[in-house]
Chain A
Protein backbone atom coordinates (compact mmCIF):
# COMPACT_ATOMS: atom_id res chain seq x y z
CA UNK A 1 0.00 0.00 0.00
CA UNK A 2 2.62 2.45 1.05
CA UNK A 3 4.74 1.40 -1.93
CA UNK A 4 1.90 2.20 -4.29
CA UNK A 5 1.37 5.53 -2.66
CA UNK A 6 5.01 6.37 -3.03
CA UNK A 7 5.01 5.50 -6.69
CA UNK A 8 2.00 7.66 -7.49
CA UNK A 9 3.62 10.44 -5.55
CA UNK A 10 6.74 10.14 -7.70
CA UNK A 11 4.65 10.11 -10.84
CA UNK A 12 2.89 13.24 -9.70
CA UNK A 13 6.17 14.97 -9.13
CA UNK A 14 7.49 13.90 -12.49
CA UNK A 15 4.32 14.93 -14.31
CA UNK A 16 4.57 18.30 -12.73
CA UNK A 17 8.08 18.71 -14.05
CA UNK A 18 7.04 17.74 -17.57
CA UNK A 19 4.09 20.12 -17.60
CA UNK A 20 6.36 22.80 -16.25
CA UNK A 21 8.83 22.22 -19.04
CA UNK A 22 6.16 22.34 -21.72
CA UNK A 23 5.26 25.78 -20.51
CA UNK A 24 8.77 27.10 -20.81
CA UNK A 25 9.81 25.27 -23.96
CA UNK A 26 9.11 28.36 -26.02
CA UNK A 27 11.30 30.38 -23.72
CA UNK A 28 14.07 27.78 -23.92
CA UNK A 29 13.95 27.77 -27.69
CA UNK A 30 14.07 31.58 -27.76
CA UNK A 31 17.28 31.49 -25.72
CA UNK A 32 18.83 28.93 -28.04
CA UNK A 33 17.73 30.83 -31.12
CA UNK A 34 19.27 33.95 -29.69
CA UNK A 35 22.49 32.05 -29.01
CA UNK A 36 22.67 30.84 -32.61
CA UNK A 37 22.18 34.39 -33.86
CA UNK A 38 24.95 35.55 -31.57
CA UNK A 39 27.26 32.83 -32.86
CA UNK A 40 26.86 34.21 -36.37
CA UNK A 41 27.30 37.76 -35.06
CA UNK A 42 30.49 36.84 -33.14
CA UNK A 43 29.12 38.09 -29.89
CA UNK A 44 29.18 35.25 -27.45
CA UNK A 45 31.01 36.50 -24.42
CA UNK A 46 27.73 36.99 -22.57
CA UNK A 47 26.86 33.34 -23.04
CA UNK A 48 27.67 30.41 -20.85
CA UNK A 49 28.28 27.18 -22.73
CA UNK A 50 26.80 25.20 -19.89
CA UNK A 51 23.57 27.17 -20.01
CA UNK A 52 23.08 26.78 -23.75
CA UNK A 53 24.06 23.12 -23.68
CA UNK A 54 21.68 22.48 -20.78
CA UNK A 55 18.77 24.08 -22.62
CA UNK A 56 19.45 22.00 -25.70
CA UNK A 57 19.78 18.90 -23.52
CA UNK A 58 16.47 19.62 -21.81
CA UNK A 59 14.68 20.07 -25.10
CA UNK A 60 15.92 16.72 -26.38
CA UNK A 61 15.23 14.91 -23.10
CA UNK A 62 11.66 16.22 -23.00
CA UNK A 63 10.95 15.12 -26.57
CA UNK A 64 11.23 18.48 -28.22
CA UNK A 65 14.12 17.38 -30.44
CA UNK A 66 11.95 17.87 -33.49
CA UNK A 67 11.26 21.48 -32.61
CA UNK A 68 14.91 22.12 -31.81
CA UNK A 69 16.07 20.63 -35.08
CA UNK A 70 13.57 22.41 -37.32
CA UNK A 71 14.23 25.68 -35.52
CA UNK A 72 17.94 25.21 -36.04
CA UNK A 73 17.44 24.65 -39.76
CA UNK A 74 15.39 27.82 -40.13
CA UNK A 75 17.87 29.93 -38.22
CA UNK A 76 20.93 28.60 -40.04
CA UNK A 77 19.28 28.95 -43.44
CA UNK A 78 18.45 32.54 -42.64
CA UNK A 79 22.06 33.36 -41.80
CA UNK A 80 23.56 31.61 -44.80
CA UNK A 81 21.13 33.50 -47.04
CA UNK A 82 22.31 36.75 -45.48
CA UNK A 83 25.91 35.76 -46.18
CA UNK A 84 25.00 34.92 -49.73
CA UNK A 85 23.63 38.44 -50.27
CA UNK A 86 26.99 39.87 -49.20
CA UNK A 87 28.89 37.49 -51.45
CA UNK A 88 26.65 38.21 -54.40
CA UNK A 89 27.05 41.96 -53.95
CA UNK A 90 30.85 41.83 -53.94
CA UNK A 91 32.44 42.94 -57.19
CA UNK A 92 35.47 41.70 -59.09
CA UNK A 93 38.41 40.61 -56.97
CA UNK A 94 36.46 41.12 -53.80
CA UNK A 95 34.10 38.32 -54.74
CA UNK A 96 36.58 35.59 -53.89
CA UNK A 97 37.65 37.32 -50.72
CA UNK A 98 34.09 37.76 -49.55
CA UNK A 99 33.32 34.15 -50.39
CA UNK A 100 36.37 32.95 -48.51
CA UNK A 101 35.68 35.11 -45.46
CA UNK A 102 32.06 34.03 -45.19
CA UNK A 103 32.94 30.40 -45.73
CA UNK A 104 35.42 30.55 -42.86
CA UNK A 105 32.84 32.20 -40.63
CA UNK A 106 30.15 29.75 -41.57
CA UNK A 107 32.48 26.86 -40.81
CA UNK A 108 33.36 28.24 -37.43
CA UNK A 109 29.72 28.84 -36.62
CA UNK A 110 28.77 25.31 -37.62
CA UNK A 111 31.53 23.95 -35.42
CA UNK A 112 30.25 25.94 -32.45
CA UNK A 113 26.62 25.02 -33.07
CA UNK A 114 27.70 21.41 -33.21
CA UNK A 115 29.50 21.82 -29.90
CA UNK A 116 26.49 23.22 -28.08
CA UNK A 117 23.97 20.90 -29.72
CA UNK A 118 26.16 17.82 -29.50
CA UNK A 119 23.59 16.12 -27.29
CA UNK A 120 21.04 16.38 -30.08
CA UNK A 121 23.59 15.17 -32.63
CA UNK A 122 24.35 12.16 -30.50
CA UNK A 123 21.01 11.12 -29.08
CA UNK A 124 18.26 12.51 -31.27
CA UNK A 125 19.49 12.51 -34.86
CA UNK A 126 20.62 8.86 -35.09
CA UNK A 127 17.05 7.76 -34.26
CA UNK A 128 15.67 9.79 -37.16
CA UNK A 129 16.57 10.03 -40.84
CA UNK A 130 17.87 13.58 -40.36
CA UNK A 131 21.34 14.85 -41.27
CA UNK A 132 23.78 15.72 -38.46
CA UNK A 133 24.66 19.37 -37.91
CA UNK A 134 28.03 19.37 -39.66
CA UNK A 135 26.82 17.70 -42.80
CA UNK A 136 23.77 19.90 -42.84
CA UNK A 137 26.04 22.94 -42.67
CA UNK A 138 27.96 21.78 -45.73
CA UNK A 139 24.80 20.92 -47.66
CA UNK A 140 23.28 24.25 -46.80
CA UNK A 141 26.33 26.10 -48.09
CA UNK A 142 26.23 24.02 -51.24
CA UNK A 143 22.52 24.66 -51.83
CA UNK A 144 22.34 28.32 -50.99
CA UNK A 145 25.69 29.68 -52.11
CA UNK A 146 27.38 27.42 -54.63
CA UNK A 147 24.29 26.18 -56.44
CA UNK A 148 22.86 29.65 -56.89
CA UNK A 149 22.49 30.27 -60.59
CA UNK A 150 25.24 32.83 -60.93
CA UNK A 151 27.77 31.80 -58.31
CA UNK A 152 28.83 28.65 -60.04
CA UNK A 153 29.90 30.17 -63.34
CA UNK A 154 31.17 33.28 -61.65
CA UNK A 155 33.36 31.31 -59.29
CA UNK A 156 34.76 29.23 -62.11
CA UNK A 157 35.42 32.26 -64.31
CA UNK A 158 37.16 34.14 -61.53
CA UNK A 159 39.35 31.19 -60.63
CA UNK A 160 40.32 30.49 -64.22
CA UNK A 161 41.09 34.13 -64.77
CA UNK A 162 43.44 34.06 -61.81
CA UNK A 163 45.13 30.95 -63.13
CA UNK A 164 45.50 32.56 -66.50
CA UNK A 165 47.01 35.69 -65.00
CA UNK A 166 49.52 33.70 -63.03
CA UNK A 167 50.49 31.76 -66.13
CA UNK A 168 51.12 35.07 -67.86
CA UNK A 169 53.51 36.01 -65.10
CA UNK A 170 51.40 38.17 -62.77
CA UNK A 171 51.49 37.75 -59.03
CA UNK A 172 48.21 36.49 -57.59
CA UNK A 173 46.94 35.85 -54.10
CA UNK A 174 47.80 32.19 -53.78
CA UNK A 175 46.58 31.85 -50.21
CA UNK A 176 43.13 32.95 -51.25
CA UNK A 177 43.19 30.62 -54.20
CA UNK A 178 44.19 27.74 -51.97
CA UNK A 179 41.40 28.45 -49.49
CA UNK A 180 38.77 28.52 -52.22
CA UNK A 181 40.02 25.27 -53.70
CA UNK A 182 40.01 23.78 -50.24
CA UNK A 183 36.40 24.85 -49.83
CA UNK A 184 35.48 22.98 -53.00
CA UNK A 185 37.31 19.93 -51.67
CA UNK A 186 35.51 20.14 -48.34
CA UNK A 187 32.20 20.21 -50.13
CA UNK A 188 33.12 16.91 -51.73
CA UNK A 189 35.62 15.63 -54.23
CA UNK A 190 33.05 15.48 -57.04
CA UNK A 191 32.23 19.13 -56.47
CA UNK A 192 35.90 19.96 -56.90
CA UNK A 193 36.17 17.87 -60.04
CA UNK A 194 33.01 19.16 -61.71
CA UNK A 195 33.36 22.78 -60.75
CA UNK A 196 37.05 23.30 -61.18
CA UNK A 197 39.40 20.51 -62.13
CA UNK A 198 37.90 19.61 -65.51
CA UNK A 199 37.78 23.21 -66.71
CA UNK A 200 41.16 23.94 -65.21
CA UNK A 201 42.81 21.07 -67.06
CA UNK A 202 41.16 22.11 -70.30
CA UNK A 203 42.27 25.72 -69.97
CA UNK A 204 45.80 24.66 -69.05
CA UNK A 205 45.98 22.37 -72.06
CA UNK A 206 44.81 25.19 -74.30
CA UNK A 207 47.45 27.44 -72.86
Chain B
Protein backbone atom coordinates (compact mmCIF):
# COMPACT_ATOMS: atom_id res chain seq x y z
CA UNK B 1 0.00 0.00 0.00
CA UNK B 2 1.72 3.19 -1.21
CA UNK B 3 1.37 6.32 0.88
CA UNK B 4 -0.15 8.36 -1.97
CA UNK B 5 -2.97 5.84 -2.31
CA UNK B 6 -4.02 6.01 1.30
CA UNK B 7 -5.67 8.49 3.57
CA UNK B 8 -5.61 8.72 7.35
CA UNK B 9 -8.91 9.23 9.13
CA UNK B 10 -8.68 10.33 12.75
CA UNK B 11 -11.54 9.87 15.20
CA UNK B 12 -12.67 12.14 18.02
CA UNK B 13 -10.53 10.18 20.50
CA UNK B 14 -7.50 10.36 18.25
CA UNK B 15 -7.45 6.81 16.85
CA UNK B 16 -6.03 6.71 13.36
CA UNK B 17 -7.41 4.61 10.53
CA UNK B 18 -5.28 4.33 7.41
CA UNK B 19 -7.40 3.19 4.46
CA UNK B 20 -7.28 3.28 0.66
CA UNK B 21 -8.35 6.50 -0.99
CA UNK B 22 -10.72 4.56 -3.24
CA UNK B 23 -12.51 3.26 -0.18
CA UNK B 24 -12.66 6.62 1.57
CA UNK B 25 -14.08 8.23 -1.55
CA UNK B 26 -17.23 6.17 -1.15
CA UNK B 27 -18.11 9.17 0.99
CA UNK B 28 -18.89 12.19 -1.17
CA UNK B 29 -17.78 14.49 1.62
CA UNK B 30 -14.36 12.88 1.87
CA UNK B 31 -14.11 12.84 -1.91
CA UNK B 32 -14.66 16.60 -1.96
CA UNK B 33 -12.13 17.07 0.81
CA UNK B 34 -9.45 15.19 -1.09
CA UNK B 35 -10.14 16.53 -4.57
CA UNK B 36 -11.12 20.15 -3.96
CA UNK B 37 -8.79 22.54 -5.78
CA UNK B 38 -6.85 25.11 -3.86
CA UNK B 39 -4.89 23.26 -1.23
CA UNK B 40 -6.85 22.72 1.94
CA UNK B 41 -4.86 21.23 4.76
CA UNK B 42 -6.41 17.78 4.11
CA UNK B 43 -5.35 17.60 0.47
CA UNK B 44 -1.77 18.39 1.40
CA UNK B 45 -1.31 16.04 4.34
CA UNK B 46 -3.62 13.23 3.31
CA UNK B 47 -5.30 13.06 6.69
CA UNK B 48 -8.69 14.09 7.95
CA UNK B 49 -9.74 14.61 11.56
CA UNK B 50 -13.33 14.11 12.61
CA UNK B 51 -13.79 15.66 16.05
CA UNK B 52 -17.46 14.67 16.09
CA UNK B 53 -17.16 11.00 15.12
CA UNK B 54 -16.24 8.48 17.81
CA UNK B 55 -13.78 5.64 17.25
CA UNK B 56 -16.45 2.91 17.28
CA UNK B 57 -18.46 4.67 14.63
CA UNK B 58 -15.47 5.55 12.48
CA UNK B 59 -14.30 1.94 12.55
CA UNK B 60 -17.73 0.82 11.40
CA UNK B 61 -17.64 3.45 8.68
CA UNK B 62 -14.26 2.23 7.40
CA UNK B 63 -15.61 -1.32 7.31
CA UNK B 64 -18.59 -0.06 5.39
CA UNK B 65 -16.39 1.67 2.81
CA UNK B 66 -14.64 -1.60 1.99
CA UNK B 67 -17.90 -3.53 2.09
CA UNK B 68 -19.38 -1.02 -0.34
CA UNK B 69 -16.49 -1.50 -2.80
CA UNK B 70 -16.84 -5.27 -2.61
CA UNK B 71 -20.59 -5.06 -3.05
CA UNK B 72 -20.17 -2.83 -6.09
CA UNK B 73 -17.77 -5.33 -7.63
CA UNK B 74 -20.19 -8.21 -7.22
CA UNK B 75 -19.45 -9.81 -3.87
CA UNK B 76 -22.83 -9.42 -2.25
CA UNK B 77 -22.70 -10.14 1.43
CA UNK B 78 -24.68 -8.75 4.30
CA UNK B 79 -23.44 -5.75 6.27
CA UNK B 80 -24.17 -6.23 9.93
CA UNK B 81 -24.94 -3.18 12.09
CA UNK B 82 -25.35 -3.42 15.84
CA UNK B 83 -28.67 -1.80 16.82
CA UNK B 84 -27.03 0.41 19.43
CA UNK B 85 -24.88 2.04 16.76
CA UNK B 86 -27.69 2.80 14.36
CA UNK B 87 -28.53 6.35 15.41
CA UNK B 88 -24.98 7.64 15.53
CA UNK B 89 -24.13 5.82 12.33
CA UNK B 90 -27.04 7.44 10.55
CA UNK B 91 -25.96 10.87 11.67
CA UNK B 92 -22.41 10.20 10.50
CA UNK B 93 -23.67 8.89 7.16
CA UNK B 94 -25.70 12.03 6.65
CA UNK B 95 -22.66 14.14 7.46
CA UNK B 96 -20.36 12.14 5.19
CA UNK B 97 -22.92 11.85 2.41
CA UNK B 98 -22.48 8.13 2.10
How many A residues have CB within 8 A of the partner chain?
20
A48 within 8 A of B: yes
A21 within 8 A of B: no
B54 within 8 A of A: no
A143 within 8 A of B: no
Within 8 A of A (CB), among B55-71: none
Contact with B along A53-81 (1 / 0, CB 8 A): 11001000000000000000000000000
- Which of B37, B41, B49 contacts A112 (CB under 8 A)? B37
CB-based contact A49/B37 at 8 Å: no
Number of A-B residue pairs at CB separation under 8 A: 55
CB-based contact A47/B37 at 8 Å: no
**What's the dominant secondary structure at chain A's contact region?**
helix
CB-based contact B29/A47 at 8 Å: no
Which of A38-46, A131-139, A167-175 contacts its partner? Answer: A38-46
CB-based contact B37/A48 at 8 Å: no
How many B residues have CB within 8 A of the partner chain?
20
What is the chain B residue whose CB lies nearest that of A47? B40
B25 within 8 A of A: no
- Which of A45, A46, A108, A119 contacts B37 (CB under 8 A)? A108
What is the chain B residue whose CB lies nearest that of A54? B52
Within 8 A of B (CB), among A91-149: 108, 111-112, 115-116, 118-119, 122
A206 within 8 A of B: no
Chain B residues whose CB sits within 8 angstroms of the CB of A42 once the complex forms: 38
Contact (A50, B33) CB under 8 Å given A45-B44, A57-B95: yes
What is the chain B residue whose CB lies nearest that of A123? B94
What is the chain A residue whose CB lies nearest that of B51? A54
CB-based contact B32/A118 at 8 Å: yes
Contact with A along B18-34 (1 / 0, CB 8 A): 00000000001100110
CB-based contact A50/B50 at 8 Å: yes
* Interchain residue pairs A-B with the least CB separation, the first 5: A49-B40, A49-B33, A115-B36, A48-B41, A115-B32
Chain B residues engaging chain A, CB cutoff 8 angstroms:
28-29, 32-33, 36-44, 48-52, 95, 97
26 contacts between A and B (CB under 8 A): A45-B40, A45-B44, A47-B41, A48-B40, A49-B33, A49-B36, A49-B41, A49-B42, A49-B48, A50-B48, A50-B50, A53-B29, A53-B32, A53-B33, A54-B51, A108-B37, A111-B36, A111-B37, A112-B37, A112-B38, A116-B32, A118-B28, A118-B29, A118-B32, A119-B95, A122-B97
